[in-house]
Chain A
Amino acid sequence: MAAPTRSTVNGSAGHSENPSTVQTLTIGKAINLGLRTAMESDDKVIVLGEDVGKLGGVFRITDGLQKDFGEQRVLDTPLAESGIIGTAVGLAVRGFRPVCEIQFEGFIFPGFDQIVSQLAKLHYRTQGKIKVPVVIRVPFGGGIGAVEHHSESPESLFAHVAGLKVVSCSNPVDAYWMIQQAIDCDDPVLFFEPKKLYHMGTLKAPVDTTVTPTPLFQSRLLREGTAATLVGYGPSVKVCLDAANAAAEEGTELAVIDLRSLSPLDLTPVFESVRRTGRLITVSEAQSESSLAAEIATRVQQECFYSLEAPVLRVTGFDTPYPPAKLEEYYLPDLDRVLHAVDRSLAW
C-alpha cells in the first residue's frame, strides 16, 4: 500500500475503486493505521507517551509502531505529563511533529500548564514566528466501569483556550483521517478519542485509504430529520444515532449531526438543520454548565432565534464529579434520556 501524500490528507486526492485500499477496522485500529501512515509519510512525526512503545499503549492504539519505527520515534516516556507536553513543545520548535498520548483524560492536568501557557500561546506570542504542530491524543469519556479519573470528559476546558484546536472522532473512517489531518495541522490539536468505542466490533467500518476525507474542522450531518436536531460528538454520536433509529420506528425523524470539531466549531450544518426542525438537543457526556453544549445553545439562539420552536435542551452528564462507576449508567446520556428530551422539546 502506498503511503498517502500530504495532499491526500488535505483532501485533494482522487477517488479510487481499488478494493485493496479498503480495510474494515475498529476505531482503535483505524487510529493506529492513521498514525502509521503519518509516520511513514513524514519522518518528523514522532509518538511519545507512557507505555506507547513495547506495550503499544494501555489501549494498544500505538501497537507495533515502536517495533517498526524505532525507539527514537516512539518514545516510552517518564511518567510525567507536563514533561510529555513540555518536551513536545520543544521538539516542535526544533521542527518535529510530536503526537503525545495522554493515558487517560484524567491524567492530563499535570500537563495543563504547558498546554495553556506554552502550547496554546507560542504562535501568538511570537506572531507566527514559531509554530507548534503538536497533537495530544486523549482517550476520554465513560462507560468502561473504571475507577476515578478514567472516565471524564474535559474537552470544554480545552475548547475554552484560545490557540488550541479540539477535535473528536466517532467512527473508524474519521478516526483514520482525522488523526492524520491533526498531525498535518500547523496548530496544536487536542484529539479526543472515545475510549469506550475503541474496540467495539459493531462499529467496525470499511476504511478506504484513498478517498478524499472531510476537512478536519467541519461537522457533518449524519442523518436528515424533520422533528428535531440532535448534536453530538465522540461517544455521544452513537447515542444520538441509536435514539434517532428508535424514534424513526415511532415515526419521528430526528436529524443527527456529528460535530467532529469542537474548536473551532462548525455550526453551519446545525443552523441549517435547526431552521428546518426548530428544535435542538445537544448530547454530551461532559457536565452541562459552561460547556460546549452551552456554547452551541448560545450560538443557535443568535443565529436561529426566529426558527426555534422550543428552548435548546442539553442532555449531558450532571454538574458533579464523575460518579463511582456503579452509577455511571445514570450519569451518562443514553437513548432514553435523549428521547425524553426529544419528547419535552416536541411538547413545548
Chain B
Amino acid sequence: MSSPEQWAHPEPGDATAATAAKPTPEQVIAGLRATTEGGADLTQLLTPEGERIASPIFDPYVADVDAEALRELYRDMVLVRRADREANAMQRQGQLGIWVPLLGQEAAQIGSGRALRPTDMAFPSYREHGVGYARGVDFRELLGIFRCSDQGGWDFKEHGFHPYTIVIGNQVLNACGYAMGQKFEGKVGNTDGQGNPSETDEATIVYFGDGATSQGDVHEGFVWAAVYDAPLVFFCQNNQWAISEPTERQSRLPLYQRARGYGFPGIRVDGNDVLGCLAVTRWALEVCRNGNGPVLIEAFTYRMDAHTTTDDPTRYRLSDELEAWKLKDPIERVRVHLTRNGGADAAFFAEVDAASDAFAAELRDYCFNMPDPTPERIFANVYAEPSPVLDAQRDEFLAYLEGFDGAEEAGSEAPGVVKAGER
C-alpha cells in the first residue's frame, strides 16, 4: 500500500505525478483497500470472526469487561438495532416523517457512548441514537424529532447529551466551547490525594461523520481545541458515505491522520468492534481528562442502510460492498465470541431477542399515540425573556383559527378562507 506521503508530495518536476483528480491505478487500488480494510493502523480488539486480539496498549482499558459486561454491550447493540429497524419501518408506514438509520454503526456508538462518565458531555450530530441510548436518553424521546412533533426534548444536562445538530459540523465548535469551559472551570488534570487522576475530572466527546470533516467548523474545532488544550474527543464515524459521496471525495488522507497536522493524536479504530471502540474512547477520554488536550478517533465503520429513508443507495454504490461489510457485522462478532467462549448460551440470546421485540413494540405504541403539538407551540420559547410581539402574533392567529370552529360544525369552510396562513 502506498503511503499518504507519496500521494501528497510528488517530486518537483515529475510531470507524471498523480494528483487528486488523476491518481495512478496503483493508488486507486491502495485507496480502495484502505477504505474496505481499514489500513495497517486499524486498532481492533475483536475481529469480525469473534477472535479477541491482544493489545498491550488498549487491553488495560477494557480489563474490567468480563463476559457479563460484554453481554450487556451485546444487549445494547441488539436493542438499538431493533429500535432503529422499527423506526425505519414506522417511517415506511407514514408514522415518521423521516428516519436516519444507524444500521451498522451500533458498535461505534455503544462502545464510545459506554466509555463516558455521567459527568462527561456528548454532542451528537443526528444519527447518534445509540449514543443517546447509552447516555440514558429514552429512545422514544428521539422519535419526536423524526415525527416532526418536536426538535428534541430530553434533559440535556441530566443525560450529558446535547440536542441533535442537523447542520453538518456546527456541533463540533459548540462541543469545543463546552470543553473549553470544563477546562476553565478546572475540571481537567486534577489528582486525588494519592496522585491518581481525579474521578471528578471531565471531558467532552463530539460526534460527526466523514462528510463533516470537510466543513470549516470541524477544522476550526480542531484548531481551537488544540490551542486551548480543550478536553475534547473528536469521534468521527467514518461510515464511508456522505449520502452519495465516498470518503475519497472528502480527503486524500486517511481521516485520523489529519490530527497530526493540528498537533494532537489521531487513531483509527475498527468502528464495528464494540470492545475496540470502548477501549480507544476510554483512552482518549483519559488523555483529555488528564489535561493533554484533544484526540481524534476515526471509527472505521459502514453505513449499512441509506443515508435517510429518503435516500436510494442503489444509485451510487454496489451491493457487493454491503455484502462485504455484512461479514464484519458489529453484533455478530460479539455473538460469536460469547458463544465460542461460553460467555452466553442460547437462552441469553433468545432473551435479548425477546426483550428487543418488546422494546420495539413499546416504541411503536408510543409513536402511534404521540399527540401532535398545538399551534401555541409555534410561538413558544423563541426567546428566554417574554416577547409581547410574539404573544400578539400568537393571540391573533389563535383567534383566527377559532373562526373556523363554527364553519367546521356546519360542514363548510369559512367563506373566502382556503388555508391557514394565507392572509
Knowing A83-B224, A130-B156 are in contact, say whether A186-B385 is a contact too (CB < 8 A): yes
CB of A133, distance to nearest CB on chain B (Å): 8
Interchain CA distance A82-B168 in the complex, whole Å: 13
CB of A114, distance to nearest CB on chain B (Å): 6
Knowing A90-B173, A123-B383, A130-B156 are in contact, say whether A78-B151 is a contact too (CB < 8 A): no
Q: Are B382 and A118 in contact (CB under 8 A)?
A: no
Q: Are B176 and A72 in contact (CB under 8 A)?
A: no
Q: For residue A122, which residue of chain B has the nearest CB?
A: B163
Is B72 in the interface zone, CB < 8 Å from A? no
Q: For residue A110, which residue of chain B has the nearest CB?
A: B216
CB of B141, distance to nearest CB on chain A (Å): 12
Q: For residue A118, which residue of chain B has the nearest CB?
A: B170
Interchain CA distance A78-B221 in the complex, whole Å: 10
Q: For residue B373, which residue of chain A has the nearest CB?
A: A127
Is A80 in the interface zone, CB < 8 Å from B? yes
Is A251 in the interface zone, CB < 8 Å from B? no
Knowing A113-B167, A123-B383, A128-B381 are in contact, say whether A118-B220 is a contact too (CB < 8 A): no
Interface residues of A in 110-155 (CB under 8 A from B): 110, 113-114, 117-118, 122-131, 133
Q: Are B178 and A130 in contact (CB under 8 A)?
A: no
Q: Are B176 and A78 in contact (CB under 8 A)?
A: no
Interface residues of B in 206-264 (CB under 8 A from A): 216-217, 220-221, 223-224, 227
Is A162 in the interface zone, CB < 8 Å from B? yes
Interface residues of B in 169-224 (CB under 8 A from A): 170, 172-182, 184-185, 216-217, 220-221, 223-224
Interface residues of A in 279-308 (CB under 8 A from B): none
Interchain CA distance A128-B163 in the complex, whole Å: 12
Q: Are A90 and B180 in contact (CB under 8 A)?
A: yes
CB of A123, distance to nearest CB on chain B (Å): 6
Interface residues of B in 13-60 (CB under 8 A from A): none
Interchain CA distance A204-B401 in the complex, whole Å: 53
Is A187 in the interface zone, CB < 8 Å from B? yes
Q: Are A83 and B381 in contact (CB under 8 A)?
A: no
Interchain CA distance A256-B371 in the complex, whole Å: 51
Name 7 interchain pairs, CB-CB below 8 A, sorted by A.
A86-B170, A89-B174, A90-B181, A96-B181, A113-B167, A126-B156, A165-B383
Tell me which of A80, A93, A110, A125 contacts B151 (CB under 8 A).
A125
Number of interface residues of A (CB under 8 A): 44
Is B311 in the interface zone, CB < 8 Å from A? no
Q: Are B165 and A90 in contact (CB under 8 A)?
A: no
Interface of A toward B, CB cutoff 8 Å: 46, 72, 77-78, 80, 82-83, 85-96, 98, 110, 113-114, 117-118, 122-131, 133, 162-163, 165, 185-187, 264-265
Q: Are A90 and B223 in contact (CB under 8 A)?
A: no
Knowing A113-B167, A130-B163 are in contact, say whether A87-B173 is a contact too (CB < 8 A): yes
Q: For residue A73, which residue of chain B has the nearest CB?
A: B184
CB of B234, distance to nearest CB on chain A (Å): 14
Contacts of B405 in A (CB 8 A): none
Q: Are A86 and B177 in contact (CB under 8 A)?
A: yes
Q: For residue B225, which residue of chain A has the nearest CB?
A: A87
CB of A271, distance to nearest CB on chain B (Å): 14
Tell me which of A86, A125, A163, A264 contacts B220 (CB under 8 A).
A86
Knowing A118-B165, A118-B170, A129-B155 are in contact, say whether A86-B181 is a contact too (CB < 8 A): no
Q: Are B156 and A129 in contact (CB under 8 A)?
A: yes
CB of B212, distance to nearest CB on chain A (Å): 13
Contacts of B156 in A (CB 8 A): 93, 126, 129-130
Knowing A127-B381, A162-B382 are in contact, say whether A93-B174 is a contact too (CB < 8 A): yes
Is B150 in the interface zone, CB < 8 Å from A? yes
Is B384 in the interface zone, CB < 8 Å from A? yes
Is B129 in the interface zone, CB < 8 Å from A? no
Q: For residue B166, which residue of chain A has the nearest CB?
A: A117
Interchain CA distance A98-B173 in the complex, whole Å: 14
Knowing A78-B220, A83-B221, A86-B217 are in contact, say whether A124-B382 is a contact too (CB < 8 A): yes
Interchain CA distance A80-B216 in the complex, whole Å: 9
Q: Are A163 and B383 in contact (CB under 8 A)?
A: yes
CB of B157, distance to nearest CB on chain A (Å): 8
Of B155, B220, B388, most buried by chain A (CB within 10 Å of CB) is: B220
Tell me which of A82, A93, A117, A125 contacts B216 (CB under 8 A).
A82
Q: Are A80 and B152 in contact (CB under 8 A)?
A: no
Is B414 in the interface zone, CB < 8 Å from A? no
Contacts of B150 in A (CB 8 A): 127
Q: Are B174 and A86 in contact (CB under 8 A)?
A: yes
Q: For residue A126, which residue of chain B has the nearest CB?
A: B163
Is B135 in the interface zone, CB < 8 Å from A? no
Interchain CA distance A114-B174 in the complex, whole Å: 9
Q: Are A72 and B184 in contact (CB under 8 A)?
A: yes
5 A-B pairs with the lowest CB-CB distances in the bound complex, closest first: A90-B177, A86-B173, A94-B181, A87-B177, A186-B384
CB of B182, distance to nearest CB on chain A (Å): 7
Of B153, B184, B384, B388, most buried by chain A (CB within 10 Å of CB) is: B384
Q: Are B167 and A117 in contact (CB under 8 A)?
A: yes
Is B387 in the interface zone, CB < 8 Å from A? yes
Q: For residue B176, which residue of chain A has the nearest CB?
A: A87
CB of A134, distance to nearest CB on chain B (Å): 10
Q: Are B153 and A126 in contact (CB under 8 A)?
A: yes
Contacts of A92 in B (CB 8 A): 177
Knowing A87-B173, A89-B173, A113-B167 are in contact, say whether A82-B220 is a contact too (CB < 8 A): yes
Interchain CA distance A98-B181 in the complex, whole Å: 11
Interchain CA distance A130-B171 in the complex, whole Å: 14
Is B347 in the interface zone, CB < 8 Å from A? no
Interchain CA distance A124-B379 in the complex, whole Å: 9
Q: Are B178 and A126 in contact (CB under 8 A)?
A: no
Interchain CA distance A163-B383 in the complex, whole Å: 6
Contacts of A93 in B (CB 8 A): 156, 162, 174, 177-178, 181
Contacts of A72 in B (CB 8 A): 184
Q: Are B383 and A187 in contact (CB under 8 A)?
A: yes
Q: For residue B178, which residue of chain A has the nearest CB?
A: A90
Q: For residue A263, which residue of chain B has the nearest CB?
A: B389
CB of A150, distance to nearest CB on chain B (Å): 22
CB of B114, distance to nearest CB on chain A (Å): 23
Q: For residue B206, which residue of chain A has the nearest CB?
A: A90
Of A87, A95, A122, A130, most buried by chain B (CB within 10 Å of CB) is: A87
CB of A110, distance to nearest CB on chain B (Å): 7
Contacts of A90 in B (CB 8 A): 123, 173-181
CB of B88, distance to nearest CB on chain A (Å): 24
Is B398 in the interface zone, CB < 8 Å from A? no
CB of B160, distance to nearest CB on chain A (Å): 11
